Amino acid sequence: MLFCMAFLMVVIWGSAFTLVSIGVLYISPLWLVTYRLIIGAILIIIYVLFKGLRLPNIKDVRWVWYFAMGLIGMVIPFFLLSTGQVVIDSGLTAIMVGTMPLMTIVLAHFFANEKLSLTKIIGFIFGFIGIVILFLPSDFSIQLTENWFSQLIIVIAAFCYAVTTIIAKRAPHTPATIGACMMLICAAIACLFIALLTTGFPKSIPPLPGIFTAFGLGIGSTAFASILLLYIIDQTGPSTVAKINYFVPLASVIFGVIILNEILNIKIFIAFIIILIGMLISQINEKKSKTL
């Protein structure tokens, strides 16, 4: 059962980067995020009501936890990714976000009682080297790539995801469906408020491809994936989610090449291999390694 959920997460998260690359062609990054969060929130509220479940009282402290998770794990990274993908390919974006497991490993050492080992440290170093390579030009000259800022905000988005997995593990126990619903409600309200405050109401209805993209993101990688994410974290811990993320960049690259005709150049390929090696090293003899 857990394997099936993990496979679904890989497909849903991998395809999300492709959908975002399409969506930002028709909708501004902030409103694309707002639409997907509102759609996701509505769908999960309907599901909760259908199941006869009840949300906690508004005074319940869990709302604070899930507001933080909605803001840090959805609003901020969704916006950063959508903004970055205006100029960055979906495959490259997924590879950079794929460093999230290595960030999670370090954060889990301090905040989730999952101690660092020598192999985890080496794995993190490999991942850092991979990120540095992605920031270099295609000729590997010692200067920043032209799109370095867009790549930087994508790395920050990955860090937000890592922080969210730690918060989710430390949050008061809540059934996955209820937690996902609370998180999406908070994220949708916060993002709508920000969008209206900064840009006002959209002046026109988005084109049909943009609407389809927003619904695809809202249904799959927002509503459904949120339930899966919290369930897996609750059952196994942050490190399992980190392992699932090993395969998301590969899935995204495949979708990007097939659907968007993206090109995987040698620099991206080398960085991807180094990051993947780092993630694999971080799991060697995990239980037997001497913790630091």
Least confident of 36-40, 51-55, 185-189, 234-238: 234-238
Q: Residue 42 falls within a domain, yes or no?
A: yes
Q: Residue 197 falls within a domain, yes or no?
A: yes
Q: What is the mean pLDDT of the chain?
A: 86
- Pair 276, 246: CB distance under 8 Å: yes
For residue 9, what are the domain limits? 2-281
- 227-254 confidence digits (pLDDT tens): 887 777 777 766 676 677 778 888 888 8
Mean pLDDT, rounded, for 60-68: 95
- CA separation, residue 244 to residues 55, 167, 236, 248 (Å): 29, 18, 12, 7
Q: Residue 286 falls within a domain, yes or no?
A: no
% of residues, the chain, pLDDT over 90: 39
Q: Residue 288 falls within a domain, yes or no?
A: no
- 101-131 confidence digits (pLDDT tens): 888 888 888 887 777 788 888 888 888 888 8
Give the separation between CA 193 and CA 180, rounded to whole angstroms: 20
What band does 28 get if pLDDT is binned at 50, 70 and 90? very high
- 71-105 confidence digits (pLDDT tens): 999 999 999 999 999 988 888 888 888 888 888 88
Q: How many domains does the chain have?
A: 1
3-state SS assignment for residue 117:
strand
Which pLDDT belongs to residue 242?
Answer: 63
What band does 292 get if pLDDT is binned at 50, 70 and 90? very low
DSSP label at residue 28: -
Q: Residue 224 falls within a domain, yes or no?
A: yes
**Does residue 153 surpass a pLDDT of 80?**
yes
Please list the residues that pair with 117 across neighbouring strands.
Answer: 291
Which pLDDT belongs to residue 5?
Answer: 78
Q: Residue 291 falls within a domain, yes or no?
A: no
Write down the pTM of the prediction: 0.84
DSSP label at residue 275: H
What band does 140 get if pLDDT is binned at 50, 70 and 90? low
- CA-closest candidate to residue 234, choices 290, 197, 183, 288: 183
What band does 290 get if pLDDT is binned at 50, 70 and 90? very low
Q: Residue 287 falls within a domain, yes or no?
A: no
- Pair 45, 268: CB distance under 8 Å: no
